[in-house]
A and B are shown apart, each in its own frame.
Chain A
Amino acid sequence: GIQVEQSPPDLILQEGANSTLRCNFSDSVNNLQWFHQNPWGQLINLFYIPSGTKQNGRLSATTVATERYSLLYISSSQTTDSGVYFCAGHGSGNTGKLIFGQGTTLQVKP
């Protein structure tokens, strides 16, 4: 079955709006990470968040590992927030492999 599932697949926001992106992950996935891929293809690590809550400026993330989900909050969105947001986690066992979700494509309009 699907191991990492993201929603929504697409999101359009007006500049200044807030949004929440969701990532559901299966029992065999842990050590959640959130990435932003900008329009030039660069993948930036936003958060390494196996559990709990972290904040970095206008972004924050919460992972509830016992309920197998993670949320990424974007507040006061800016046009530079546009791009694709991926969540990913390690598979079970001593694996280095990250399993990625299909991503949420965000467009922030001025």
Chain B
Amino acid sequence: DTGVSQDPRHKITKRGQNVTFRCDPISEHNRLYWYRQTLGQGPEFLTYFQNEAQLEKSRLLSDRFSAERPKGSFSTLEIQRTEQGDSAMYLCASSSDRNYGYTFGSGTRLTVV
């Protein structure tokens, strides 16, 4: 098992462009989470999937953000019409029902210029 994988590691985009990030969780984990982290802050919750169902969504996730987990395996996070305030590290994590301990991926660092 290679842990939680995120792709790409870095993304630089122009304001107004759309971006999509991918997360592959640990295969036995049915829970998947997206967080956002800005410099000097702890991670902030964005959304949570149990299998393919999106069970929880933060108010931080505006209508420009959408996340999917179509087959209960990998997940994508899309940001439409990016803004400079979207610049952050986007972290994905997974866990199982038997052990709520999270495993985080290495993150995708987004820079909007």
Contacts and interface: CB of A to CB of B under 8 A. Distances in A.
Interface residues of B, number: 26
The A interface is mostly helix, strand or loop, or mixed, namely strand
B74 interface: no
Contacts of A99: 45
Given A95-B56, A103-B42, A48 B107 contact: no
Interface string B81-112: 00000000101010100011111101101000
A96 B42 contact: no
Interface residues of A, number: 21
Contacts of A103: 42
Contacts, number: 58
A92 interface: no
A97 B56 contact: yes
Most buried by B among A33, A43, A98, A103: A43
Contacts of B43: 43, 86, 88, 98, 100
A90 B102 CA distance: 11
Given A96-B31, A96-B33, A96-B55, A42 B45 contact: no
Interface of A: 31, 33, 35, 41-45, 48, 86, 88, 90, 95-103
5 contacts: A42-B106, A45-B102, A95-B48, A96-B48, A99-B45
Interface of B: 31, 33, 35, 41-45, 48, 50, 55-56, 58, 89, 91, 93, 95, 99-104, 106-107, 109
